[in-house]
């Protein structure tokens, strides 16, 4: 049965000022472009004004100072995006619950130590010496290597690999396809070709870290590759050996971080950024999408390849876009001189 809420109920729940039919029944939430006449949406930035004017939504959550006249009912709040998130959760299905227990197809070494209420899903493999804390879930087909430690209330989704001796804190989330603790990319050229340099360190992931699908975090050559508390890493990110990622740093998809990089706290790294090895990025630094970082960065906002301060990068981009006009002017001037 479809869940419905009256507009008045929604407005009260998010503390908003309703202008429209209080008794209107709302059955869901969607974007401005996709909302149907029985759904609610939200508007928070002028760039979406054209979508707002065309939306079929029955109601729209808007900023407190919203003055546009639209056909839909409005609910005025100080933070539309945050309020809309609350509404979405009211219409969402209940979260999946993982019942404690061990599936009969799971393969668990007798020396592994599992808390009483862990959930081990079908075909998971847990090697010798592993310890898994209270409330943690190991998804179907995941591999947990020898002497791994996993803290309390972790969520390891299906198809994750955690290699030997790696350490996870509490409330860590690993999405499907993540590989934690593969060998770092270490080789030395010899007279007989490339020789593999032993990678004998670990990966340590602290409390409240979330790591996206198909992201790879390599073990250290020695010591540890370290993802500190609260860091969030998107899908398809490569973190090389001996990297340190500071607390509450955010890294977007397809970023590549070479070995022994030190990234500070609350750093923001945009998608497809590339960072060469053995450099340091200070606390609070912001790195734009597709930026190539080849030197230490000490705060500020950086963009382009090689990375330069954002203001400077914008000037360079403007110059490049004017080159065609400049060439034509030069041609004309040269023609006059003949």
- Tens digit of pLDDT for each residue in 191-205? 999 999 999 999 999
Q: Is the dihedral of CA 29, 35, 40, 46 positive or negative?
A: positive
Higher-confidence position of 278 and 311: 278
Q: Does residue 116 carry a pLDDT above 90?
A: no
- Tens digit of pLDDT for each residue in 327-338? 888 888 887 655
pLDDT (average), residues 126-146 = 98
The confidence score (pLDDT) of residue 337 equals 56
- Tens digit of pLDDT for each residue in 56-115? 999 999 999 998 889 999 999 999 999 999 999 999 988 888 999 999 999 999 999 999
Domains of the chain: 5-91 (3.40.1390.10), 101-312 (2.160.10.10)
The confidence score (pLDDT) of residue 312 equals 86
| Residues sharing a CB contact under 8 Å with residue 127, sequence separation 6 or more, in sequence order | 109, 112, 144, 145, 146, 147, 148, 164
The confidence score (pLDDT) of residue 338 equals 55
Q: Does residue 174 carry a pLDDT above 70?
A: yes
State how far the Cα of 226 lies from the Cα of 306, in Å rounded to an integer.
26
- Tens digit of pLDDT for each residue in 263-275? 999 999 999 999 9
The confidence score (pLDDT) of residue 81 equals 96
- Selecting among 45, 146, 175, 241, the annotated active-site residue is 241
Q: Any bridge partners for residue 275, and if so which?
A: 257, 293
Q: Any bridge partners for residue 202, and if so which?
A: 224
Report CA-CA distances (Å) from 3 to 88, 89, 90, 142: 12, 12, 9, 35
pLDDT (average), residues 113-126 = 97
The confidence score (pLDDT) of residue 336 equals 67
- φ/ψ of 82, rounded to 5, equals -65, -40
Q: Does residue 3 carry a pLDDT above 90?
A: no
Residue 316 bears catalytic tag = no
* Banded pLDDT at 326 (limits 50, 70, 90): confident
- Tens digit of pLDDT for each residue in 222-239? 999 999 999 999 999 999
Q: Does residue 1 carry a pLDDT above 60?
A: no
């Amino acid at each position: 049965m479809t869940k419905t809420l009256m507009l008045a109920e929604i407005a009260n729940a998010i503390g908003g000022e309703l202008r429209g039919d209080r008794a209107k029944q709302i059955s869901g939430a969607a974007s401005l472009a996709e909302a149907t006449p029985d759904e609610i949406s939200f508007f928070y930035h002028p760039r979406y004004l054209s979508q707002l004017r065309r939306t079929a939504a029955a109601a729209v959550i808007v900023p407190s100072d919203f003055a546009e006249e639209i056909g839909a009912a409005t609910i005025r709040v100080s933070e539309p995006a945050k309020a809309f998130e609350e509404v979405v959760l009211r219409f969402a299905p209940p979260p999946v619950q993982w019942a404690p227990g061990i599936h009969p197809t799971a393969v668990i070494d007798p020396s592994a130590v599992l808390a009483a209420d862990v959930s081990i899903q079908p075909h998971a493999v847990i090697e010798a010496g592993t310890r898994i804390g209270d409330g943690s879930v190991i998804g179907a087909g995941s591999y947990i290597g020898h002497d791994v430690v996993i803290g309390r209330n972790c969520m390891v989704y299906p198809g994750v690999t955690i290699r030997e001796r790696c350490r996870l804190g509490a409330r860590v989330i690993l999405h499907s396809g993540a590989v934690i603790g593969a060998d770092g990319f270490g080789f030395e050229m010899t007279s007989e070709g490339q020789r593999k340099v032993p990678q004998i360190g670990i990966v340590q992931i602290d409390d409240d870290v979330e790591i996206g699908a198909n992201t790879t975090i390599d073990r250290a050559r020695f010591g540890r590759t370290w993802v500190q508390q609260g860091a969030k890493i998107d899908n398809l990110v490569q973190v090389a050996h001996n990297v340190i990622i500071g607390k509450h740093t955010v890294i977007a998809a397809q970023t590549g971080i070479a070995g022994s990089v030190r990234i500070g706290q609350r750093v923001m790294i945009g998608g497809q950024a590339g960072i060469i090895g053995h450099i340091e990025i200070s606390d609070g630094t912001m790195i734009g999408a597709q930026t190539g970082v080849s030197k230490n960065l000490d705060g500020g906002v950086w963009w382009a390849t090689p990375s330069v301060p954002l203001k400077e990068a914008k000037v360079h981009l403007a110059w490049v876009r004017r080159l065609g006009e400049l060439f034509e002017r030069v041609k004309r001037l040269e023609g006059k001189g003949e």
